[in-house]
């Protein structure tokens, strides 16, 4: 079975499940696709007791796909650029300081809170797991997933300033979260004595700072090229080339490709650049092209997340640990946002219950699963993969289906004034 056939099967499954969701379930696509895929996989498990042909075929597809590399090295760049391209830049500029704090210190605090709590919980369950490996789990589960968040917020009618905080944080904390994960991963792999504070600072500076600078450079070059011509076909291709070659450059020089793509997308997508570089028809084509890319990759991604349950090692204590991790992750996220929200809420007039909404609306998704798949067996990969999967499934299905109602309750009680739009 070659890669074209695998891609054809995945796209066909995504199209079929997407149709079923839109036609019958009418859920947000991210939730509906993953839920249908999980039910489909469970049905294949049941059928395998009679005939294991379908189960073998699905297992073969999953084993042929390196989910971690596919998401982190390829898909994520396209998805983050598309998300940033359609983010309200003016609102993002107003909310830049809380978003920066949420995406950096918030992720760091959450990493240590989750890691510490899980260390004691796993010990209570009789599993002696080194603290550094629990911190790795804290790092991979703390970033929220913009891919899951964006589609749901679009339908919830969230106030613009609240939507900007959640989406802006999700766009940036992916890159920061990956860097934190890689740092702790290296410490766990090489030993705390081998990795110095200077090494950590250098890694952060190169990955984060280098990624942002690369994104600014890509955005500027794209802007200059698009400004010098008026041909919507070529201008769309220029944006595509910026994402693809930018990802290659970032990977070659060990920079953060996610942060580079978010920065480039915000640069190209802001209203000032759009007005000076894109004609009306170009703007329409660029937006529609990236919306289509976003939708296509989203559908494939959430089908793959549903299918990834085939690689899990289901043991009773692993599942119990995953269930216990759900409230731990939520409480730690709430706690990590408490200080920055209280600091900024008066000067920026936050929506009431912002912390509650950002906690419940901070969905986990494919990025967490991809990072968990990157763990080694020595780092208890099977255990943390099951825990991560349980948290992600709960996050997307339960939180995803209810966050809209939570936002509507809050915004009905505290309506947004026209000057805040």
Q: Would you say residue 148 has pLDDT above 70?
A: no
Least confident of 21-25, 29-33, 188-192, 376-380: 188-192
Quickly count: other Cβ atoms within 10 Å of residue 272's Cβ. 11
Q: For residue 208, give every residue at least 6 positions away whose Cβ sits within 8 Å of its Cβ, in sequence order, or none.
A: 175, 176, 179, 256, 259
Confidence band (pLDDT; 50, 70, 90) for 305? very high
Is residue 375 classed as helix, strand or coil in its secondary structure?
Answer: coil
Instruction: Extract the tokens encoding 58.
Output: 């699905």
Residue recorded with tokens 């600078």: 213
Instruction: Report the distance separating Cα 111 and Cα 374, nearest Å.
Output: 17
What pLDDT sits at residue 107?
95
Region class of 350: left (phi > 0), else alpha (psi between -120 and 50), else beta: beta
Nearest-angstrom CA–CA distance, 270 and 256: 21
Architecture of domain 67-420: Up-down Bundle (1.20)
Q: How far apart are CA 252 and CA 123, in angstroms?
A: 40
What is the mean pLDDT of the segment spanning 398-412?
Answer: 85
Residue 214 and residue 294 in contact, taking contact as beta carbons nearer than 8 Å: no
Identify the weakest region by mean pLDDT among 17-26, 44-53, 346-355. Answer: 346-355
Instruction: Reply yes or no on whether the pLDDT at 387 is more than 90.
Output: yes
Angle between helices 29-47 and 280-307 (to 10 degrees): 30
CA nearest to 247, candidates 88, 20, 72, 32: 72
Integer Cα distance of 74 and 27 in angstroms: 27
Mean pLDDT to the nearest integer, 137-156: 80
**Higher pLDDT among residues 203 and 178, named by residue:** 178
What are 75's two structure tokens? 């898909």
Count CA atoms within 13 Å of residue 324 on its CB side: 17
* Whole-number pLDDT of residue 161: 76
Q: What is the pLDDT of residues 357-373, one digit of tens each?
A: 999 989 998 999 999 99
Res 90: pLDDT: 81
Question: Can you tell me the distance from the alpha carbon of 350 to that of 164, in angstroms, rounded to the nearest whole number?
Answer: 12
Q: Is the pLDDT of residue 330 over 50?
A: yes
Mean pLDDT on 66-77: 92
Higher pLDDT, 228 or 347: 228
Task: Tell me the pLDDT of the chain averaged across its residues.
Answer: 90
Does 48 score more than 80 pLDDT?
yes
Percentage of the chain exceeding pLDDT 70: 95
Tokens (6 digits) for 201: 């600072």
73-112 pLDDT, tens per residue? 999 999 999 989 988 788 888 888 999 999 999 999 999 9
pLDDT score recorded for residue 155: 67
For 56, the token pair is 């073998």
pLDDT tens, 243-300?
A: 999 999 999 999 999 999 999 999 999 988 899 999 999 999 999 999 999 889 988 9
Per-residue burial over 59-86, b if 16 or more Cβ lie within 10 Å, else e, is bebbeebebbebbbbebbbbbbbbbbbe
| Inter-residue contact 167 to 102 (CB < 8 Å) | no
Q: Cα(384)–Cα(373) distance, rounded to whole angstroms?
A: 9
CA 122/CA 138 separation, integer angstroms: 13
Structure-token pair, residue 329? 């992750």
Under the banding of pLDDT at 50, 70 and 90, the label for residue 418 is very low
- pLDDT at position 124 is 96
Residue 260 has a pLDDT of: 96
Do residues 219 and 146 make contact, with C-beta atoms less than 8 angstroms apart?
no
Q: How confident is the model at residue 1 (pLDDT cuts 50, 70, 90)?
A: low
| Domain residue spans of the chain | 67-420
SS3 content of the chain, % helix, strand, coil (to 5): 85, 0, 15
Of the pLDDT bands very low, low, confident and very high (cuts 50, 70, 90), residue 355 is very high
Within 62-156, strands assigned E span none
Q: How many CB atoms lie within 10 A of CB 204?
A: 17
Q: State the average pLDDT over residues 302-316.
A: 91
DSSP 265-300: HHHHHSHHHHHHH--HHHHHHHHHHHHHHHHHHHHH
Report residue 186's pLDDT band, with 50, 70 and 90 as the boundaries.
confident
CA terminus-to-terminus distance, the chain: 52
Which whole number is the average pLDDT over 230-235? 95
């Amino acid at each position: 079975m070659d890669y074209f056939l695998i891609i054809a099967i995945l796209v066909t499954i995504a199209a079929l499940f997407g149709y079923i969701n839109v036609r019958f379930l009418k859920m947000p696509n991210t939730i509906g696709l993953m839920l249908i895929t999980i039910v489909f996989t469970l049905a294949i498990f049941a059928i395998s007791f009679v005939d294991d042909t379908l189960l073998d075929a699905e297992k073969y597809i999953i084993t042929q796909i390196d989910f971690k590399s596919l998401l982190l090295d390829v898909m994520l760049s396209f998805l983050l650029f598309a998300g940033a391209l359609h983010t309200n830049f003016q609102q993002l500029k107003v909310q830049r300081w809380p978003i920066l704090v949420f995406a950096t210190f918030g992720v760091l605090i959450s990493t240590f809170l989750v890691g510490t709590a899980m260390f004691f919980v796993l010990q209570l369950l009789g599993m002696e797991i080194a603290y550094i490996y629990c911190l790795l789990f804290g790092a991979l589960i703390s970033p929220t997933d913009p891919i899951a968040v964006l589609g749901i917020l679009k339908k919830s009618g969230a106030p613009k300033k609240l939507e900007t905080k959640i989406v802006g944080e999700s766009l940036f904390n992916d890159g920061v979260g990956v860097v934190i994960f890689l740092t702790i991963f290296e410490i766990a792999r090489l030993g705390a004595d081998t990795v110095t504070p200077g090494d950590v600072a250098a890694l952060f500076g190169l990955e984060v700072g280098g990624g942002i600078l690369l994104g600014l450079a890509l955005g500027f070059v794209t802007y200059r090229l698009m400004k010098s011509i008026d041909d919507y076909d070529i201008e769309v291709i220029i944006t595509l080339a910026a994402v693809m070659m930018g990802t290659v450059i970032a990977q070659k020089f060990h920079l953060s490709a996610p942060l580079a793509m978010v920065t480039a997308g915000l640069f190209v997508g802001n209203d000032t650049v759009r007005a000076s570089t894109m004609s009306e028809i170009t703007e329409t084509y660029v937006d529609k092209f990236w919306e289509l890319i976003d939708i296509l990759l989203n559908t494939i991604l959430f089908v793959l997340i549903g299918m990834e349950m085939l690689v899990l090692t289901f043991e009773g204590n692993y599942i119990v640990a995953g269930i216990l991790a759900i409230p731990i992750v939520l409480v730690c996220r709430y706690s990590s946002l408490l200080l920055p929200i209280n600091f900024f809420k008066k000067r920026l007039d936050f929506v009431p219950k912002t912390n509650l909404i950002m906690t419940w609306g901070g969905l986990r998704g494919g990025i967490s699963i991809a990072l968990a798949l990157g763990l080694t067996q020595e780092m208890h990969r099977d255990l943390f993969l099951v825990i991560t999967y349980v948290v992600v499934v709960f996050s997307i299905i339960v939180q995803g289906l209810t966050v809209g109602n939570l936002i509507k309750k809050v915004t009905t009680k505290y309506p947004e004034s026209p000057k805040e739009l």
